[in-house]
Structure 1
Amino acid sequence: MAESSNAPATREAPWPVATMSEKIAAWIDRLGTVWIEGEVTQWQLRGGHVYGKLKDLEQDATVSFTVWRSVVQKLSSDFAQGDRVIALVKPNYWVKGGSLTVQVFDLAHVGLGELLERLERLRRQLQQEGLFDASRKRALPFLPRCIGLVTGKDSDAEKDVIRNATLRWPGVVFKLHYAAVQGDRAATEVVAGIKLLDQDPEVDVIIVARGGGDFQNLLPFSDEGVVRAAAAATTPIVSAIGHEADRPLLDEVADLRASTPTDAAKRVVPDVGEELAGLDQARSRLTSRVSQLLQHEMDRIAQLRGRPVLAHPQRLVDERAEDLVRWIARGTELADRAVEDRSQSLTELRARLTALSPRATLNRGYAIAQLSDGAILLDPEQAPPGTAIRVTLSGGRLSARTAE
């Protein structure tokens, strides 16, 4: 066995396995952190940590990697088997097991994956700002006076929109703004078109149209500038990019998303034939309803005219006249009876009054003696002999003196 780990290994003095493993580990450790690129062929999440394998994109070479929980929680997007990634790693050689693995400190998609990641971040940002909220979306006018169209010059999208809109409503008017719909200039020109048409007071709705294409050709319609220009527009925006699989961000912020330019024309402009048919149906329903109402009122008038009070109005007068005669006769009878009753009562009261009056007493032979001053003489002692008195009889008065 070798006496020093620094001595070269020979047949006579070989290194122990541990010595070689430690030297490999030390050399690998000096490599530090490096960025590598590859394809994820295995991705397993256990206990919050990720264990996987990364394969070279061209050659048959694979390395195992580990992503600790603290790093997993900081990753900005999701990863899965088959993703093409770049990773900041530090190689580690496990002396005890004799295996090489790399510890991942950062991980990101590359190529199309990186682009999708950026778009996803932008989507989340705009969504958090509320630009995708349904409450922001405005209703399209029923019949726009003028339609603004942002599209490629002489493109199929332009022809589809104009042809289908004109077929549905021949009087429709367009204001066109031609813009590149792919490439580096596309986003800038589309933004300019949206702003220009939005400032035009005659334009009631703006259609941004393109006849489909692959994902990368549609990238200008996910540009942040295009999306924010559409969100800031006061005129309703219709997105007609025509791609079902990959929806650009313009679809999310637009007031209406059309599946194709043809669909946009159909949804922005009403069909004149359908509207005329609808008017005919409404006119027919209105006529039927008015006729029914008139017939109902005519029947009511006929029923009212058939009632006795309207068929023979004099009958009501006659009935009331008979009632009046009866009430007059009844009133006269009651008045006569009341007068008779009161006369009889008056006679009885008169008889009672007469019977109780002093004159009735005088008529029976009594007299009233009074002194000269008018005082009633009640006791003989009030009139000594020779006193002058007045005597009231039934037939008149006498003057007299008391005897001595």
Structure 2
Amino acid sequence: MAEPVVSTPTSASTPATRDTPWPVALMSEKIAGWVERLGQLWIEGEITQWQVRGGHVYGKLKDLSQDATISFTVWRSVAQRLTSEYAQGDRVIALVKPNFWVKGGSLTVQVFDLSHVGLGELLERLERLRRQLLAEGLFAPERKRALPFLPGLIGLVTGRDSDAEKDVVRNATLRWPGVKFKIHYAAVQGDRAAGEVTAGIEALDRDPEVDVIIVARGGGDFQNLLPFSDERVVRAAAAATTPLISAIGHEADRPLLDDIADLRASTPTDAAKRVVPDVGEELAGLDQARARMSSRLGQFIAHETDRIAQLRARPVLAQPERGIDERADELVRWAARGAELADRAVNDRGQALAQTRARLTALSPRATLERGYAIAQVIAVDGTPGAVVRDPADAPVGAALRLTVAGGHVATVVTP
């Protein structure tokens, strides 16, 4: 059996060739040496990540004009000497010393001094866009649309196989098992993200079956969230007629999409809880409502039953014939009283009539005649009775008279 060939360690002065390649460690050590010779130098850039852990600061610094980023570390001893506060978006100059980590093959810089230069380019651009959108009224609360109580189809714009997609779908399904999704996959960071997210919002908004749109991403640093502050994305969200939820999932940074959206969710999980109701809670609510209705209905029936019992206990319903008898007796009394009053009225009117007749009779001329008196009238030439004789001069000698007595008329002539 042949013995394995053991290569002889290559000297650092030996050229790296196909026959005499350098070990990875040797190359890394040479790179570390070259980097070490750079020493300390001043650099300028924009902070895109700033995290404090155990007093030390770990972050990233981005070139102001090109797509180049480097990680940096500020040890606790240096961080305690810094006199200003720093955050994502700050434009700074830093005294750094590059370090190449041989074991991990990564390049970082150690910061020895740090100072502000001004607001970072990205933050300046975002601030200008924010002021422009604010002036256009796109942040106004009255533009916010209410979410549907139970959407039939939820549109989701998110990264393919992302944790955000899983969180939204899983939590929404747990809350309402029948929920349906239409997912538009898009890059959620990098140069393609803004265009693909914009296309996703517009495509889902055109679908008449989509009732609400969720734009979801599982957080990230300031630089990774920049696509969600892109003007194309926020204007597409503002122009959408379908209610839209922003679920970027980062509390420290607030992309412009959060201000444009009809609802801002703190995380994709929060968005799932906001977009559909919890079936358990709704069923419990239905049970409570059913119990309240049953209780109210029982109270109403019991109240009405008591009222009916009270009505039945009244004498007019307990002994209805008693009321009839009382009214019958009362009717008999009123009938007898009516007959009595009618008879009395007839008698009174009869007596009054007799008295009137007696007065008329007493005043009648006929009554006077019946007492022996007579009425004398001079007979005219034509033989008709004339004036009543009231004085002897009215009846000269020889005048023909007509005497009216109680029994009739008598003709006579006046004699001397």
Q: Deviations over 1:213-257 (max 9, x none)?
A: 000000000011111100110111010000000110000011111
Q: Which runs of 5+ in 2 are unaligned?
A: 1-43, 47-81, 85-91, 97-113
Q: Which residue of 1 aligns with 2:313?
A: 306
Residue type at the aligned position of 2:385: G
2:83 maps to 1:83 = no
Structure 1 residue 208 corresponds to structure 2 residue 220? no
Q: Secondary structure at the match of 1:400?
A: strand
Task: Give the C-alpha shift of residue 144 in structure 1.
Answer: 0.8
The answer for the alignment partner of 1:331 in structure 2 is 338
Following TM superposition, the consecutive aligned residue runs of length 4 or more in structure 1 with deviations greater than 4 angstroms are: 55-59
Matched, 1:245 2:233: no
Asked if the contact 1:38–1:84 (Cα under 8 Å) also holds between the matched residues in 2, the reply is no
Query: Which aligned pairs between 1:126-205 and structure 2 lie closer than 5 A?
Result: 126-205=133-212
* 8 Å CA contact 2:375, 2:404 repeated in 1: yes
Cα distance in 1, alignment partners of residues 223 and 369 from structure 2: 147
Could you tell me which residue of structure 2 aligns to residue 294 of structure 1? 301
Contact 2:93 2:116 in 1 (8 A): no
Could you report, residue by residue, the CA deviation over 1:100-119 in whole angstroms, capped at 9, with x for unpaired residues?
A: xxxxxxxxx3xxx2211221
Aligned 8 A contact 1:238 1:256 in 2: yes
- Which residue of structure 1 aligns with residue 385 of structure 2? 374
Structure 2 counterparts to residues 216-231 of structure 1, below 5 A: 216-231=223-238
- For residue 195 of structure 1, report the CA deviation from its aligned partner: 0.2
**Aligned match for 1:398, one of 384, 390, 410:** 410
Q: Aligned residue for 2:264?
A: 257
CA distance in 2, matches of 1:144, 1:299: 47
8 Å contact from structure 2 (residues 93, 115) kept in 1: no
1:359 alignment partner, SS class: helix
Q: How far off is 1:148 after superposition?
A: 0.5
The residue type paired with residue 211 of structure 1 is G
Matched residue count: 309
Letter in 2 for 1:183: G
Contact 1:219 1:248 in 2 (8 A): yes
For 1:151 and 1:160, locate their aligned partners in 2 and report how far apart those are by CA, in whole Å: 11
Question: Partners of 2:405 and 2:164 in 1: how far apart?
Answer: 144
Distance in 1 separating the partners of 2:167 and 2:365: 133
- More displaced stretch, 211-220 vs 344-353: 344-353
Question: By how many angstroms is 1:125 displaced?
Answer: 1.3
Q: Distance in 2 between matches of 1:356 and 1:167?
A: 120
Between the aligned partners of 2:248 and 2:163, the Cα distance in structure 1 is: 12
Q: Which residue of 2 aligns with 1:103?
A: none
Counterpart position of 1:355: 362
The CA deviation at 1:83 is 2.6
Q: CA deviation at 1:378?
A: 1.9
Q: Which amino acid aligns with 1:179?
A: A
Deviation at residue 154 of structure 1 after TM alignment? 0.6
- Verify the 8 A CA contact 1:242 1:259 in the aligned structure 2: yes
Per-residue CA deviations over 1:378-397 (Å, capped at 9, x if unaligned) read 22223222222111222332
**Structure 1, unaligned runs of 5 or more:** 1-36, 44-54, 60-80, 86-108
Return the TM-score normalized by structure 2: 0.71
Q: Secondary structure at the match of 1:176?
A: strand
User: How big is the shift at 1:335?
Assistant: 1.4
Q: Which of these residues, 390, 400, 404, is aligned with residue 388 of structure 1? A: 400
* Structure 1 residue 318 corresponds to structure 2 residue 330: no
State the alpha-carbon separation in 2 of the partners of residues 248 and 150 from structure 1: 16
Partner Cα distance (1:352, 1:122) in 2 = 122
Taking structure 1 as the reference length, the TM-score comes to: 0.73
Instruction: Give deviations 1:259-307, integer Å, cap 9, x for gaps.
Output: 1111111111111111111111111111111111111111111111111
SS at match of 1:83: strand
SS of structure 2 residue aligned to 1:157: helix
CA 1:82 to 1:320, structure 2 compared with 1: closer, same or farther past 3 Å?
A: farther
Q: Aligned partner of 1:145: which letter?
A: G
2:244 counterpart of 1:233 = no
RMSD: 2.2
User: Is the contact between residue 201 and residue 236 of structure 2 (CA under 8 Å) also seen in structure 1?
Assistant: yes
Determine what percentage of the aligned residue pairs are the same residue.
73
AA in 2 matched with 1:397: H
The answer to whether the 8 Å contact 1:123/1:249 transfers is yes
1:19-30 aligned within 5 A: none
Q: Deviations over 1:164-210 (max 9, x none)?
A: 11111111111110101001110000000000000001111100000
